[in-house]
Amino acid sequence: MKAKNMVKLSFYSRSVNEGFARGALAAFLAQADPTVPELTDVKTAVSEAVTNCIVHAYPQGVGLVHLSVALYDEGLVRITVADKGVGIPDVEKAMQPMFTTGNPEERAGLGFAVMQSFMDKVRVTSAPGKGTRVVMSKRLASRG
């Protein structure tokens, strides 16, 4: 399936860039004329994925976060958030609600659960020392 339009961005894993990622996503998705709830859902899922990169991928410093967004026919949007950080040793365990490798006083461990609740499909692949890739998709309601 060939995308109708797409964008790729890379930015440092700094907390200030989480807002940038949401804003850039919203600007790009405007062409698909999503509803406000759809846009909010997608922005929330991307926010969680980018925050995971910022908090977990590069614990010893700053690295790159890669965001790509593609629009397909019939309102399908596919979003990829990837890093080349420390990776996740057990993706299945990491995707369980309340699981966190961060400080439990500061982190709820709900990032993947939030992504899954707002998107139609979420796929996570990771390898220790090689990074993590989150691919999310959602079909936006037809407005035409």
User: Which residues are marked as active site?
Assistant: 48, 52, 107
- 31 exposed, middle or buried (CB, 10 Å; 0-12, 13-18, 19+)? exposed
- Closest by alpha carbon to 55, among 99, 85, 79? 85
- In Å, how far from its chain's centre is CA 136? 7
Question: Where are the strands (E) in the chain, listed by range?
Answer: 5-12, 64-71, 76-83, 121-127, 131-139
> Whole-angstrom Cα distance, residue 51 to residue 30?
23
